[in-house]
Amino acid sequence: MSLTKSMKRSHLVFGLVGLVILGLVGVAALGIAAEENSGVPASSESSSQPEGWLDLNSDYVIPDLPFPTNPDPDECGIPQPWGSDSKAWLNGYYKGELIQPVVYLYDGHGRNEIVAQAIHGTEVEILMFQANPVLDYYLVEVTTQEDGQNQGWVPAPFLSRDPFTS
């Protein structure tokens, strides 16, 4: 009789362990599915954002630049305050072709992270300038965006001192 009780208990324990494992696998699968969906760029979630608009709160790939960059960050200049004539516009054109309808602003000339973004042609205010051996950078503020994601460094070719008419 005690052997039967022992077998029933072991079946019950194995059944409970199996249910717990199944539950954990299900929860993990739901978490993975939610994580995969959160990494979708905002441009595919909503038609109101232009192509290239990123969800900066999810994973993204920093795009290569179409022009030469600074090979050694240690040789780059020290950022300097810009001065009084600070109005400029983000420029997504390079060699006559619109290659960045959305211009990305970076955490610095090392481009480790995109910290802000704005549509090509957006007016900005230049705050600082960094002269470098190959590629200069400007720290700009997008005055039309809310605080928090409105400042960053932009490579010189993506900044224009003249407004765009087209």
Can you give the residue ranges of every domain in the chain? Answer: 2-38, 61-160
Measured in degrees and rounded to the nearest 5, phi and psi for residue 115 equal -105, -15
Residue 68 and residue 61 in contact, taking contact as beta carbons nearer than 8 Å: no
Return the CATH class of domain 61-160: mainly beta
The helix/strand count (H/E) of the chain reads as: 2, 10
Could you tell me what percent of the chain has a pLDDT over 90?
Answer: 48
Residue 25 and residue 17 in contact, taking contact as beta carbons nearer than 8 Å: no
Q: Which has the higher per-residue pLDDT, 105 or 49?
A: 105
Rounded Cα gap, residues 55 and 49, in angstroms: 11
Rounded Cα gap, residues 56 and 107, in angstroms: 12
Rounded Cα gap, residues 65 and 18, in angstroms: 52
pLDDT (0 to 100) of residue 124: 96
Q: Look at residue 36 and tell me whether its pLDDT is greater than 80.
A: no
Q: List pLDDT tens digits, range 3-35.
A: 565 555 555 545 544 444 544 444 444 444 444
Cβ neighbours for 160, distance < 8 A, ≥ 6 positions apart: 88, 89, 90, 91
| Residue 166: Cβ-neighbour burial (10 angstroms; 0-12, 13-18, 19+) | exposed
Which pairing describes strands 151-155 and 123-130: parallel, antiparallel, or unpaired? unpaired
**Range with the poorest average pLDDT among 22-26, 54-58, 98-102, 142-146:** 22-26
Q: Which has the higher per-residue pLDDT, 113 or 147?
A: 113
Q: Would you mind telling me the total number of residues written for the chain in this entry?
A: 166
Confidence (pTM):
0.67
The stretch 125-147 carries a mean pLDDT of: 91
DSSP state of 110: T
